[in-house]
Amino acid sequence: MSNTLKEQLYQALVQGIDRGHLEPGLVLLEGNIAAIFDMSRSPVRQTLSRLHDEGKICRFDGRGYLVGRGDGEIIRRPLGAGDFRAVGGQASIQRTEAWQALAEKVERDLVLCSMKGRLELNELQLAKTYDVSRTTTQRILASLQSLGVVDKTKYSSWSVIPLDDARLHHLYDARRQLEPFMISRACGVLSDHELSGYLFRLDEAAREYPNLEGARLDALENELHQEALMRGGNPEIITMLRRTRPILLISKHLLGGAVEMPAEDPLFTEHRRVFEALSARLPKQAGQALDEHLANAETKVRQRLADFRETGEVVMPRYLSWVETL
């Protein structure tokens, strides 16, 4: 990493302001920004003070700062990761903690292997394989457990939850019950600016397809199925939906990697229908469009899984072992 996290945060805010993603009059709150970038408040406080000294933001009669000179309308809305998208759809700040890079590799191995059958993970062997501490492996596995990838079975042993057809259907069934409701609630909260940004990034990726990295599609999936849904305002439902994350991980680790990008439109048209309904302030239609998208996606992903089970190859890490089924 060439710059400190504080310097990266400064650049992210400057770019957001200069490009108009953080519009004049927008309230910037220290806690909100710290949560987005998963960092402490101290570097955020110092960065906002620096931007204030440079005249890019100003104080006002309220908490936080305003973007610009503060001579217009005051805009209060929670910021999200989508407000800080850099070119290519990646978050503006790139962390290099070793455990996060390792977590991405372990996640990929577990997701691909779980498509083939039931497995057991040995935590001690995982630590030995990558020469890391038990604290690091426990942190990784706790994160994967919250996503519904693994479950603790006994001391140092974890069960990798298989991604079979039955579980796939259950996950999609849960999403179809919850996501349309949440997106309809978000309809009155998402700003025109946010929605135009989602549509712009969607159309930009569609023009470049299929010459895209899998990470780019994953970012677009996250914008609809995580960022926009969070604006529905029910944190309990968001927690429930977190357990359905393996569905998104299938495409994240398959497309553009283990398998080629599909010839057909993977998501652009259907995502656009949802965002267009949101832009027209039609919550019921947005929910219906999302439900149709999820129904279509289940069919595509089921076939993708069947093909991968048939012809896909995985390299079994030493810390995993097959579990025989009776």
Partners of residue 322 on adjacent β-strands: 119
Task: Give the pLDDT of residue 84.
Answer: 74
Name the amino acid, one letter, at 98: A
Task: Give the pLDDT of residue 11.
Answer: 86
Task: Give the pLDDT of residue 2.
Answer: 44
What proportion of the chain, given as a percentage, has pLDDT over 90?
41
Is the model more confident about 278 or about 156? 278
Task: Give the pLDDT of residue 104.
Answer: 85
pLDDT digits (tens, 9 = 90+) for 18-71: 878 888 999 999 888 888 877 778 888 989 999 999 999 999 988 899 999 888
pLDDT digits (tens, 9 = 90+) for 129-159: 988 888 888 889 998 998 889 999 888 889 9
What proportion of the chain, given as a percentage, has pLDDT over 70?
92
d(CA 104, CA 142): 13
Contact 183, 271 (CB under 8 A): no
Name the amino acid, one letter, at 116: K
Is the model more confident about 29 or about 263? 29
Task: Give the pLDDT of residue 97.
Answer: 57
The residue with tokens 């989508």 is: 82
d(CA 280, CA 176): 22
pLDDT digits (tens, 9 = 90+) for 285-314: 999 999 999 999 999 889 888 888 888 888
256 pLDDT tier (thresholds 50, 70, 90): low
Task: Give the pLDDT of residue 6.
Answer: 78
Contact 178, 226 (CB under 8 A): no
pLDDT digits (tens, 9 = 90+) for 103-130: 888 998 999 999 888 899 999 999 999 8
d(CA 74, CA 85): 23
| pLDDT, average across residues 171-183 | 96
Task: Give the pLDDT of residue 85.
Answer: 60
Residue 90 pLDDT > 50, yes or no?
no
CA angle 291, 273, 178 (to 5 degrees): 25
| pLDDT, average across residues 91-104 | 64
Residue 91 pLDDT > 50, yes or no?
no
Task: Give the pLDDT of residue 100.
Answer: 74
The residue with tokens 């357990």 is: 243
Task: Give the pLDDT of residue 195.
Answer: 93
Task: Find which of 101-110, 261-270, 272-281 is predicted with most confidence, using mean pLDDT.
Answer: 272-281
d(CA 138, CA 140): 5
